[in-house]
């Protein structure tokens, strides 16, 4: 019988704040879970690890070089930019992510963002309680434009499982859908087509980001692209904060060039006190929570455990540095 591996979770507090046990992973080895790990402790905590799970704790090439026993890295997320894939590959270490676990949760959150921007029910609930409806003397009362989505166009940038699901939900609300991705897939039935990026920004009434963050698309949503958007357009981001030049977005909002924006992700999380979007007009900010339904978090943990089972059985799953075997 093979010895049980030493498993270290570097930052488990958000995935399991107390309602999502580590039992499936703990059954596969000797498990140590840290709520969070500052950069200066990563080497120390990973020193004896044969398996590391990380979400936001960075594993650079330098750190990986100092972890002699490490054989497998599991990313507790779909995005894997926190791991130096080349550094892992040079050591023959497979890196596995967890795709698709949050598709429904994130897509639903996108629609919640959009419906909030268009109808503002929370704001109007507060105004009712503050007596504004009563003071108006009218049977019907509102203070923000009430926007109907049917007939508008949703622009989806990135067309993996989440982007596709957002497109499906937009169609269900009577919207048309334009999508952009490097390798177009089978289009959805109904009002749906692919478009070049600039064309999408110019034609869509709502733009929602669902692409990974890479070295090639850092801050690609900038003053130039935002300037192509229709007056009255809405911008949504539940992907990665680094995709957006946040100062340019704040400028567009404050100038009234957009009707509103909703972001669940920022370049630096949590934001610094003087972040430009904190004071931008018509900007809804939420704390990176689109993925975080209990159902999705339990699914993520189960899939991460399954990735580890695959590695231990000699058949790693969801490997994102597929060339690691060639460099081992």
Work out the pLDDT band at 182, boundaries 50, 70, 90.
confident
**Residue 105 above 50 pLDDT?**
yes
**Residue 130 above 80 pLDDT?**
yes
pLDDT above 90: percentage of residues in the chain: 91
Domains 6-101+293-327 and 103-285 agree in fold:
yes
Work out the pLDDT band at 327, boundaries 50, 70, 90.
very low
**Residue 189 above 60 pLDDT?**
no
Kindly report the CATH number that applies to the domain delimited by 103-285: 3.40.50.720
In terms of pLDDT, which residue wins out, 116 or 190? Answer: 116
Annotated catalytic residue within 240, 246, 297, 299: 240
For the question of residue 210 being annotated catalytic, the response is: no
pLDDT for res 31: 98
Work out the pLDDT band at 322, boundaries 50, 70, 90.
confident
Which two structure tokens, joined as six digits, stand for 74?
Answer: 């599991």
Alpha-carbon distance values, 297 to 18, 76, 176 (Å): 12, 10, 31
Q: Are 177 and 171 in contact (CB under 8 A)?
A: yes
pLDDT for res 328: 44
The residues spanned by each domain of the chain are 6-101+293-327, 103-285
CA distance 36 to 167: 35
pLDDT for res 324: 65
pLDDT, tens digit, 9 for 90 and up, residues 3-13: 799 999 999 99
260's enclosing H/E stretch is: strand 258-263
**Residue 326 above 60 pLDDT?**
no
**Residue 244 above 80 pLDDT?**
yes
Average pLDDT estimate for 255-278: 97
pLDDT, tens digit, 9 for 90 and up, residues 164-176: 999 999 999 999 9
pLDDT for res 318: 97
Write down the pTM of the prediction: 0.90
pLDDT for res 191: 65
For residue 69, the SS3 value is: coil
pLDDT for res 44: 97
Q: Rounded mean pLDDT of the chain?
A: 94
Work out the pLDDT band at 1, boundaries 50, 70, 90.
very low
pLDDT for res 325: 56
pLDDT for res 201: 98
Cβ neighbours for 172, distance < 8 A, ≥ 6 positions apart: none
Alpha-carbon distance values, 10 to 35, 216, 237 (Å): 7, 28, 27
**Residue 230 above 80 pLDDT?**
yes
pLDDT, tens digit, 9 for 90 and up, residues 44-85: 999 999 999 999 999 999 999 999 999 999 999 998 989 999
For the question of residue 240 being annotated catalytic, the response is: yes
pLDDT, tens digit, 9 for 90 and up, residues 38-54: 999 999 999 999 999 99
Work out the pLDDT band at 2, boundaries 50, 70, 90.
low
Class of CATH domain 6-101+293-327: alpha beta
Which two structure tokens, joined as six digits, stand for 237?
Answer: 């981001």
For the question of residue 288 being annotated catalytic, the response is: yes
**Residue 183 above 90 pLDDT?**
no
């Amino acid at each position: 019988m093979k010895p049980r591996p030493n498993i270290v979770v570097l930052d488990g507090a958000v995935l399991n704040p107390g309602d999502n046990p580590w039992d499936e992973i703990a059954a596969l080895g000797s498990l140590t879970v840290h709520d969070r790990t500052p950069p200066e402790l990563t080497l120390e905590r990973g020193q004896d690890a044969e398996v590391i799970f990380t979400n936001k704790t960075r594993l650079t090439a330098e750190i990986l070089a100092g972890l002699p026993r490490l054989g497998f890295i599991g990313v507790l997320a779909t995005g894997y930019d926190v791991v130096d894939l080349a550094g892992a590959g040079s050591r023959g270490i497979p890196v596995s992510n967890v795709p698709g676990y949050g598709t429904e949760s994130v897509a639903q959150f996108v629609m919640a963002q959009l419906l909030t921007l268009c109808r503002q029910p929370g704001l109007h609930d507060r105004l009712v309680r503050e007596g504004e409806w009563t003071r108006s003397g009218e049977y019907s009362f509102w203070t923000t434009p009430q926007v109907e989505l049917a007939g508008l166009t949703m622009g989806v940038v990135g067309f993996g499982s989440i982007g596709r699901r957002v497109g499906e939900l937009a169609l269900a609300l009577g919207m048309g859908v334009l999508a952009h991705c490097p390798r177009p897939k089978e289009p959805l039935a109904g009002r749906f087509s692919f478009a070049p990026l600039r064309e999408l920004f110019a034609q869509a009434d709502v733009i929602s980001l669902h692409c990974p963050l890479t070295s090639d698309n850092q801050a690609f949503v900038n003053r130039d692209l935002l300037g192509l958007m229709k007056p009255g357009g809405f911008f949504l981001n539940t992907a990665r904060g680094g995709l957006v030049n946040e100062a340019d977005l704040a400028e567009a909002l404050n100038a009234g060039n957009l009707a509103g924006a909703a972001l669940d992700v920022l370049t630096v999380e949590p934001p610094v006190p003087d972040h430009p979007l904190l004071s931008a007009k018509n900007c809804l900010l939420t704390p990176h929570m689109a993925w975080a339904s209990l159902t999705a978090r339990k699914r993520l943990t189960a899939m991460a455990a399954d990735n580890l089972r695959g590695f231990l059985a000699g058949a790693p799953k969801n490997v994102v540095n597929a060339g690691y075997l060639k460099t081992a």
